[in-house]
Structure 1
Amino acid sequence: MKRTLGGRSVKAIGLGCMNLSHAYGPPLPPTQGARVLDRALELGYDHFDTSRLYGGGRNEDLVGRVLKGRRDRVFLASKTGIHVADGRRWIDCSPAAIRAGLDQSLTALGVDHIDLYYLHRPDFTVPIEDSVGALADQVRAGKIGAIGLSEMNAQTLRRAHAVYPVAAMQTEYSPWTRNVEIAVLDTARELGVALVAFSPLGRGALCGTLRDPASLVAGDMRRDIPRFQPDHWPRNLVLIDRLAALAGEAGVSAAQLCLGWVLSRGDHVHAIPGTTRLDHVAENLARADWRPDADLVARVDALFDPEAISGGRYPPVLQAQVETEDFPG
């Protein structure tokens, strides 16, 4: 089943490439990362999502090498705005930074055109109108095909869309992270904007295979996320195990249930699960056309009522860099 993204028809499930180079412990050796991407292409994935941030550019380098000679097979998305250097992380979505970041991404990817280019986070020091205006200039220059935003709220989406049509809003969305249901999901539908769900499997938690986050390797960002920590994890694990039971009743894996649930939220919704494992690349796409029935959707909704989730989705420093509406408490 295909859906529209940036004016193109692509499969509703794409591949989030971050895990191969960033955030969840040591990056895969490039040869192993290339095998994951090659397998995704063999299986028919046609939407790859990367960012200048991931691995300090290594992820774009990897994606570019794998796509060499096969660029036309993939709808290619990347992002700019988050910068890391000398142990410091900051946001810069000024027009000058956007232009410089885009040129770096084009060079790393080995392409002259990126299909969808996102502002990775809101820059609270630069009006969104200025940032979107700079992106619109790059569309007119032929360097990008469409404009995206990430982790921004419904009001910002409306402001941005009034300057130039926004093709996609990317944000975390899964049964245990439902913030977009406050406003962004419906606003995107109203405006004809795709909602691209990253971490649709709850950063791997909802698959049911992670039993003790203390086993995660040093450098895995999940060790710093509140809902993975000892004060919260046991309560969340109860919900995760109940989700696995629901998936078993439906004859799908927990990951497939999560993906089906996310995609059931609207025809404008896409999902980009990431993985480092070849079997998961196949599993995530194997039931791409399956959707849970209304009763099962309601049971998942009830199980993961936002008030039932223990702990925040980001540590305070990272939470301060997102704008998506949040539930009280």
Structure 2
Amino acid sequence: MKGKPQMKRRKFLENSAKVFAASMLFNVAFAGENSAKKSTDSKTLPQRMLGKMRVSALGLGCMGMSHGHGPARDEKEMIKLIHRAVELGVTYFDTAEIYGPHTNEILLGKALKPFRDKVCIGTKFGLYYPFGKQMQDSSKKSILRAVDESLKRLQSDYIDIYTQHRGDPDTPIEEVALTMSELVKAGKIRHYGLSEPGYKTLERAHKIYPVTAVQSHYSMMFREVETNEILKTCESLDIGFVAYSPLDRGFLGGLINEKTQFHPTLDMRTSFPRYSKEALKENQKFITFLKEVAANKKVKGKTASVPQIALAWLLAQKPFIMPIPETTKIKHLEENLGSLEITFSKEELEQINARLKEMKVVGERYAPGSDAANSVGL
């Protein structure tokens, strides 16, 4: 009789163990199923290498969300846009301390904190506007102050690529490169870059500490980097190229014309000769041409759009180029990413380039003699 309770207890423990094991197997299977679902929620875009940094073939320029293209947009809506970009596979997000100033970095810090280990953030230093006057300061003291403040705003322990916004005539580029190397060793940045440098400056910097990427204006309507040795130098030194304003400040989006109204004080384009009413009217020939090219290309079964052709053309120029089109609308973000589906044959590119050479762009990108014009190519 004494053995029966022990047998019942043993039976109970055996059955409990079986139930527990079964429940654990179910939980593992359920977790695996959920994990698989989560992994398919986010898409993977084609990748490109900027030096040794892997990024999505198309990045997202974030300036216009907070600065430069009219009043700052609603923060919640911009966070939603950034989250959608991450969901669609965008891994590179571009900002700068001067955008706002500071508010664009704060926006990215909030939006990207949940995804920090999955994305690359590029920010910039060394360009300031005290009392409305442009100045450049890349002294070591200024950089050390700037990087710590950017890290706080970005809510991050590191910056993926830290870019000199414009050259500083008072600070030799060798000193800047040395400071960048110290920041890499300290773990505050992982890579560094230069924006709008001259090719000789780029070579000098690279000798001191490898430059990961150059960020300069490049679009169908502004192709200076093809002739000023910058692209050639990037290719020879294995330096990536980040193409800002790939839609030429929005014009190659195909929705801007001489009737478009820009905010008189908060939109920088009002000071650009290329955005005068005359220039906007004359340059519509580029939009007409892009529509002709688009008519023969499909994206998801539909005729390609003007911005999709402009971005696809840029992607086709060199494998180390990553365009960073700006947008404040999810539908335009999704449209821009459609450009990754478009390819051109060698013959098509030759025909497109031949036509582009025939069309004269009306209006300079910056007013001649302005601080903006004088600070590029240093």
TM range (shorter): over 0.9
Counterpart amino acid of 1:157?
Answer: L
Offset, 1:8? 2.8
Q: Measure the CA separation in 1 of the matches of 2:72 and 2:350.
A: 38
Q: Measure the CA separation in 2 of the matches of 1:167 and 1:112.
A: 20
Q: Looking at both structures, which has the greater relative contact order when contacts are Cα pairs under 8 Å and sequence separation is at least 6?
A: 1
Q: Relative to 1, partners in 2 of residues 1:213 and 1:53: Cα closer, same or farther, differing over 3 Å?
A: farther
Q: 2:133 maps to which residue?
A: 88
Stretch deviating more after TM superposition (252-261 or 2-11):
2-11
Q: Measure the CA separation in 2 of the matches of 1:53 and 1:26.
A: 15
Counterpart amino acid of 2:321?
Answer: V
Cα displacement string for residues 279-301 of structure 1 (whole angstroms, at most 9, x for unaligned residues): 01111112314322223322332
Q: Which runs of 5+ in 1 are unaligned?
A: 325-329
Q: Measure the CA separation in 2 of the matches of 1:150 and 1:213.
A: 32
Structure 1 runs of 4+ off > 3 angstroms? none
Which of 180, 188, 191 lines up with 1:143 in the alignment?
188
Does 1:319 find its partner at 2:373?
A: yes
Conserved 8 A contact 1:139-1:146: yes
State the TM-score, normalized to the length of structure 1: 0.94
Offset, 1:314? 1.3
Q: 1:134 maps to which residue?
A: 179
Identity of aligned residues (%): 36
Q: Relative to 1, partners in 2 of residues 1:306 and 1:242: Cα closer, same or farther, differing over 3 Å?
A: closer
Offset, 1:306? 8.4
Q: 2:90 maps to which residue?
A: 45
State the TM-score, normalized to the length of structure 2: 0.82
Q: 1:263 maps to which residue?
A: 315
Offset, 1:214? 4.6
Counterpart amino acid of 1:205?
Answer: F
Which of 283, 287, 292 lines up with 1:236 in the alignment?
283
Q: Measure the CA separation in 2 of the matches of 1:30 and 1:103.
A: 23
Offset, 1:307? 6.9
Q: Secondary structure at the match of 2:216?
A: strand
Q: Which runs of 5+ in 2 are unaligned?
A: 1-45, 299-303
Offset, 1:238? 1.6
Conserved 8 A contact 2:51-2:238: no
Q: Measure the CA separation in 1 of the matches of 2:273 and 2:351.
A: 25
Which of 286, 293, 301 lines up with 1:246 in the alignment?
293
Q: Measure the CA separation in 2 of the matches of 1:263 and 1:10.
A: 14
Counterpart amino acid of 2:188?
Answer: K
Stretch deviating more after TM superposition (39-48 or 247-256):
247-256
Q: 2:326 maps to which residue?
A: 274
Offset, 1:258? 1.1
Q: Measure the CA separation in 1 of the matches of 2:312 and 2:258.
A: 26
Counterpart amino acid of 2:49?
Answer: T
Stretch deviating more after TM superposition (74-83 or 241-250):
241-250
Q: Measure the CA separation in 2 of the matches of 1:209 and 1:170.
A: 25
Conserved 8 A contact 1:116-1:148: yes
Conserved 8 A contact 1:80-1:118: yes
Stretch deviating more after TM superposition (47-56 or 211-220):
211-220
Offset, 1:213? 5.6
Cα-Cα RMSD:
1.6
Q: 1:181 maps to which residue?
A: 226
Q: Measure the CA separation in 2 of the matches of 1:105 and 1:49.
A: 13
Which of 287, 291, 295 lines up with 2:347 in the alignment?
295
Q: Measure the CA separation in 1 of the matches of 2:237 and 2:51.
A: 13
Q: Secondary structure at the match of 1:105?
A: helix
Offset, 1:9? 2.0
Q: Relative to 1, partners in 2 of residues 1:22 and 1:6: Cα closer, same or farther, differing over 3 Å?
A: farther
Q: Per residue, is there more helix in 1 or in 2? A: 2
Q: Measure the CA separation in 2 of the matches of 1:187 and 1:169.
A: 10
Cα displacement string for residues 142-196 of structure 1 (whole angstroms, at most 9, x for unaligned residues): 1000110000111111011011000000001110010100111111000000011
Stretch deviating more after TM superposition (189-198 or 78-87):
78-87
Conserved 8 A contact 2:367-2:373: yes
Conserved 8 A contact 1:6-1:116: no
Q: Secondary structure at the match of 1:215?
A: coil
Q: Measure the CA separation in 2 of the matches of 1:165 and 1:291.
A: 32
Q: 1:225 maps to which residue?
A: 272
Q: 2:244 maps to which residue?
A: 198
Q: Measure the CA separation in 2 of the matches of 1:155 and 1:289.
A: 36
Q: 1:327 maps to which residue?
A: none
Cα displacement string for residues 35-79 of structure 1 (whole angstroms, at most 9, x for unaligned residues): 211111121111111110111100000000011222012111111
